[in-house]
Amino acid sequence: MIVSASTPPFVTDTKPLPNQLETSLSKPEPPRRPQPNRLKLAYDIVMLIAISIDLLFISIDAILMSNFSSHVAGWLAISDGLSWYQNSLHDPLRTIGGFFTIFLIVELLARWVIAIKDEVYYRWFFFPFVHWYEVLGCFPQLRALRLFRAVIIGRRLHQLGYQVLPQPWINRIKFYIDVLLEELSDRVILTTIYNFRQQLTDSDAHKSLIKSTIERNREQIEAMLLSLLRQELTPILQKLTDKSEGGQLIANEVGNAIQDGLANTPELRRYLRLIPIAGSLIESQLQHIGHNIGENVVYSLNERLLKAEHIDALMVNIAHSIVNIDINNAALEALLASIINDSLSEFEAQIKIQQWKHQDMLNL
């Protein structure tokens, strides 16, 4: 027997083995966190500690060299100790801080060269723009910006799974950041609403807003009106075709009108009374027939005029006529202005609610 190269010589059972079946049905393993470079990790930790110590010394030195510290030291009777620090330790700490600044400049340039070599960024000059806080932090007057690098290093370590700060501290920091961002965004939104209200007080701007709003949404307004008319008015009109309460009432009133018309026609009454004996009977029957004719005419008209296609065409014409009305109408402008103002008031009231106050700060 000749076996082709594309056909396997043996037919094997393709059912998975029990171990394979169990593995395929088990839950997929979560993606493993990439292992960081140990050298880079150690360098980040060292830099985090060094920058934290430098910022601590800068803060302590700024406090102790201030006039406030002099007043507090005089009140606590430790002016001699403060003077010893200012005369003996201040200059050496400034010198150490200067050397550390030089180290940061050299370290920044070295990382820039490495980034150019590894083509980390699209252009070689992107590095100082991305690390702007490090560039500015090299200036003595802006040394506080070094805190940004410490925060970024700490965030990178936290993403790698290393607990840099206790979790309660992290929750507390997130809470105050959310408070700050919420308050800032609320102030911006409230200022925008106030400016928008001021613009609405101008009659020209008000009319222009209403006109542009209606012009842009004519199709949607027409579709909304047509939907409401079909939903609310069409069933009412369709009930008139039946001998229900509404249709019977109209038919009865038309029949009564025809009956009254016949009864109040003096010529007809005079001619009928010329007929002896049967004249009054004919008059009564004629009025009754007129009443029935009126009812039948109403029912017949309703069946012909209130067909589904006729009603729908009527609703379309009504909606189209309403949406194309002249917008230079004082009542319409007042209505839209009231709707806009109420919407802004509700939105403003919702913005003024400070969501962070609804959080349980004790559980942070």
What pLDDT, on the 0 to 100 scale, is given for residue 109? 93
Rounded Cα gap, residues 188 and 198, in angstroms = 16
115 lies in which domain range?
Answer: 38-164
pLDDT score recorded for residue 91:
84
- Strand, coil or helix: 30: coil
Count Cα atoms within 13 angstroms, Cβ side, for 245.
1
Residues 56 and 137 reside in one and the same domain: yes
Q: Where among 134, 149, 164 does a domain terminate?
A: 164
Same-domain pairing of 212 and 342: yes
Question: What is the structure's pLDDT at 359?
Answer: 56
Same domain flag for 232 and 339: yes
Digit-coded pLDDT (tens) for 289-309: 877 877 777 777 766 666 777
How many structural domains does the chain have?
Answer: 2
Same domain, 284 and 346: yes
Question: Quick one: 148 and 210 in the same domain?
Answer: no
Query: Is the Cβ–Cβ distance between 57 and 97 less than 8 Å?
Result: yes
140, 164, 188 - which closes a domain: 164
> To the nearest 10°, the Cα dihedral for 34, 40, 42, 46?
-130
What is the per-residue pLDDT across 36-78, written as a single tens digit (0 to 9) for each? 567 777 887 888 888 888 888 888 888 888 888 888 888 887 8
How distant, in Å, are the alpha carbons of 264, 288, 364 from that of 284? 12, 6, 93
Which pair of tokens denotes residue 60?
A: 């302590």
Low-confidence ranges of the chain (pLDDT < 50): 1-28, 30-31, 361-364
Question: Where does a domain end: 114, 134, 164?
Answer: 164
